[in-house]
Amino acid sequence: MADENEKIRWASDPVDRDEKLLVGFSLGELVPQDHAIRSFDELMNEVDWSDWESVYEGTGQPPIHPKMVAGAILYGLVIGLRSSRELEDATEHRVDFQWYLSRRTIDYSTFLKFRKRFGGQLPKLSGQLAKIAQKRLGGQGKTLVIDGTMIRARSDRYKSNTAAQLAEKMAVLEVEISDLLAEIDTCDDNEELVEKVAQLQKELADQEAELTDLRRMKEKAELRDKKKTRKKPTRVPTGDPDSRILQNKDGGCAPNYQVTATVDADTGIIVDQEVLGENNEVDAIKTSVERCTELLGRPEELVADQGFGSGKNLKMLAEADIDAYIPQARETGNCKALRKDLTKPLPSDHIADLPTYGGFFSKEAFVYDSECDALYCPSGQQLSRLRSQVDVRGSGPVRVVEYQGKTCAACSLRSLCIRSKKAANRTVIIDEYASLRTEVAVRMRSDEGQAVYRRRAPAIETVFGHVKAVMNVRYFFYRGLEAVQREWDVVCCASRGRRARATARVRRCWRSTLSSARCCRMHARSRTRACRSTETSMGACGAVETGASRGHSFQTLARCTTRPADPSLDHPISPPNPSPKPRPLAHPHQYLSLAGHLSGS
Contact 10, 587 (CB under 8 A): yes
In the predicted structure, residue 58 carries a pLDDT above the cut 80? no
In the predicted structure, residue 515 carries a pLDDT above the cut 80? no
Contact 437, 421 (CB under 8 A): no
Contact 42, 508 (CB under 8 A): no
- For residue 570, give every residue at least 6 positions away whose Cβ sits within 8 Å of its Cβ, in sequence order, or none: none
**Residue 27: Cβ-neighbour burial (10 angstroms; 0-12, 13-18, 19+):** middle
Average pLDDT over residues 279-306: 88
Characterize 298-313 residue by residue with b for buried, 16 or more Cβ atoms within 10 angstroms of its Cβ, and e for exposed: ebebbbbbeebbbbbb
**pLDDT tens-digit series, residues 186-198:** 776 666 666 777 8
- Gap between the Cα atoms of 368 and 335, Å rounded: 15
Whole-angstrom CA distances from 378 to 330, 350, 436, 441, 561 are: 13, 10, 20, 17, 60
CA 41-45-46 angle, to 5 degrees, is 125
Average pLDDT over residues 55-82: 89
In the predicted structure, residue 107 carries a pLDDT above the cut 90? yes
Question: Which of 276-285, 317-326, 327-336, 499-508 is predicted least confidently?
Answer: 499-508
Give the distance from CA 172 to its chain's centroid.
Answer: 43
Characterize 174-203 residue by residue with b for buried, 16 or more Cβ atoms within 10 angstroms of its Cβ, and e for exposed: eeebeebeebbeebeeeeebeeebeebeee
Whole-number percent of the chain with pLDDT over 90: 25
Contact 409, 384 (CB under 8 A): no
State the greatest distance between any 2 C-alpha atoms of the chain, in Å, as a whole number.
117
In the predicted structure, residue 436 carries a pLDDT above the cut 60? yes
**pLDDT tens-digit series, residues 124-176:** 888 888 888 888 877 788 899 999 999 999 998 888 888 888 888 888 888 88
β-bridge pairing 323-325 and 301-303: parallel
Whole-number percent of the chain with pLDDT over 70: 79
Reported as type and span, the H/E element at residue 116 is helix 108-117
Confidence grade of residue 521 (pLDDT, cut at 50, 70, 90) = very low
- Gap between the Cα atoms of 277 and 269, Å rounded: 24
Q: What are phi and psi of 290, to 5 degrees?
A: -65, -45
Characterize 87-120 residue by residue with b for buried, 16 or more Cβ atoms within 10 angstroms of its Cβ, and e for exposed: bbebbeebebbbbbbeeeebeeebbeebbeebbe
| For the ranges 475-479, 505-509, 515-519, the one whose mean pLDDT is highest | 475-479
Average pLDDT, rounded, for the chain: 78
Question: Which of 190-204, 260-274, 506-520, 565-579 is predicted least confidently?
Answer: 565-579
**pLDDT tens-digit series, residues 87-101:** 999 999 999 999 999
- Gap between the Cα atoms of 173 and 569, Å rounded: 78
Q: How many helices (H) and strands (E) does the chain have?
A: 20, 15
Position 192 scores a pLDDT of 61
**pLDDT tens-digit series, residues 227-246:** 776 678 888 898 899 998 88
In the predicted structure, residue 67 carries a pLDDT above the cut 80? yes
In the predicted structure, residue 558 carries a pLDDT above the cut 60? no
Helix %, strand %, coil % for the chain, to 5? 50, 15, 35
Contact 541, 531 (CB under 8 A): yes
* DSSP assignment of 343-404: TSPPPGGGGGGS-EETTEE-GGGSEEETTTTEEE-TTSPEEEEEEEEEEEETTEEEEEEEEE
How many other CB atoms are found less than 10 A from the CB of residue 64? 15
- Gap between the Cα atoms of 59 and 532, Å rounded: 71
Position 193 scores a pLDDT of 66
Q: Strand, coil or helix: what is 232?
A: coil
Average pLDDT over residues 358-386: 86
Q: How many CA atoms lie less than 13 Å away from 261 in the CB half-sphere?
A: 29
Position 485 scores a pLDDT of 92
Start-to-end Cα distance in the chain: 32
**pLDDT tens-digit series, residues 331-343:** 544 567 778 888 8
β-bridge pairing 374-376 and 160-161: unpaired
**Residue 476: Cβ-neighbour burial (10 angstroms; 0-12, 13-18, 19+):** buried
Instruction: Name which of 318, 267, 325 is nearest 296 in CA terms.
Output: 267
Contact 497, 78 (CB under 8 A): yes
Q: What is the dihedral of CA 462, 463, 465, 467, to 10 degrees?
A: 160
